[in-house]
Amino acid sequence: MPKTESNAITLGTKAADFILPDAEGKLYELSSFSEKPALLVTFISNRCPFVVLLREALAQFALEYAPKGLQIVAINSNDAKAHPEETLARIGEEVANFGYAFPYLKDESQTVAKAYRAACTPDLFLFDSERRLAYHGQFDDARPGNGKPVTGADIRAAVDAVLLGQKPSDKQVASIGCNIKWLEGNEPSSLSHAA
């Protein structure tokens, strides 16, 4: 199974704006969540084994942390023409099947993935109340086949810190997953991994 690591991104980087649809056609933008003290933008997939491993835990985590002030937004940037399981309709099915209580949006043009310098699924970007990057690392250390339980320990610690107005630890382990399936000719020049 090919593995891609998330790009190194400077903490403190400002969240990029976006306007993206969910499967119902509702549009969301960065300012849609301005009242929330913490925002987790996560790039996911419907079929990547790394996401499949944690999607139920992600859904539960969202339910647990929403009352505390965390807003999660999931974005699917994969090429849906080459990978029909990544279409907007399939995104709607994922939301229904796994109880995602957060917007799951389609980045058809992949401009948002490029703006965030997302590289893999899952790729997690946690922003503080000023929408500056506070954490860009793994959900936890569970991987397909490594036998470790999916706990969300890393992201929980980071979110807890942000909600307390503190900075998460600088020791952040990069997320690893499937590479984003770029449209032909659209792969960012800074990425050298195979599609």
Summarize pLDDT for 60-96 with one digit per residue, the tens: 999 999 999 999 999 999 999 999 999 999 999 999 9
Residue 189 has a pLDDT of 74
Mean pLDDT of the chain: 94
Residue 33 DSSP label = G
What's the predicted TM-score (pTM) here? 0.95
- DSSP class per residue in 118-181: --EESEEEEE-TT-BEEE-S-S-S--TTS------HHHHHHHHHHHTT-PPPS--PPPEEEEP-
Residue 10 DSSP label = -
Instruction: Average the pLDDT over each of 107-111, 162-166, 184-188 and give the range with the smallest value.
Output: 184-188
Q: What are the beta bridge partners of residue 42?
A: 74, 124
Q: Averaged over 181-188, what is the pLDDT? A: 92
Instruction: Average the pLDDT over each of 149-153, 154-158, 190-194 and give the range with the smallest value.
Output: 190-194
Residue 2 has a pLDDT of 66
Q: Is the pLDDT of residue 56 over 90?
A: yes
Q: Averaged over 104-120, what is the pLDDT? A: 97
Of 133, 173, 170, nearest to 154 by C-alpha is 173
Residue 71 DSSP label = E
